[in-house]
Amino acid sequence: MSEYRWEARARLDGMTEGRVGGGSLQLVTVCLSDDDAGELSDEHGRPAAPAPEVLTHLRPSEARALAFCLLELAELAERKSEGWE
């Protein structure tokens, strides 16, 4: 199942993961939401409530891997949109 969200944001909001031997690892919070979507409607044009936020907390290495993947896909999408390929 997939659902569309209008906006994606990432932030540091104090979530951490404990480490063996003490200390903690700061996590990156990724939020998908309908903030700033404007007026939403369903498939019949009726007003619809925004979908609930979706949150996940990523380790720095996971956030970095996702960021690189998104950059690669954005480049590919731009090329396809502009007819480069």
Q: What is the pLDDT along the chain (85 residues), one digit of tens a residue?
A: 567 777 899 999 989 999 999 999 999 999 998 777 667 677 787 777 777 889 999 999 999 999 999 999 999 999 998 876 5
In a domain, 76, yes or no: yes
In a domain, 1, yes or no: no
Which range marks the domain in which residue 18 is found? 7-81
How far apart (Å, rounded) are the C-alpha atoms in residues 65 and 79? 21
How far apart (Å, rounded) are the C-alpha atoms in residues 29 and 55? 7
In a domain, 51, yes or no: yes
How far apart (Å, rounded) are the C-alpha atoms in residues 55 and 62? 15
The DSSP call for residue 82 is: T
In a domain, 2, yes or no: no
- Cβ contacts of residue 39 below 8 Å, gap of 6+? 47
Looking at the structure of the chain, the number of domains it has is 1
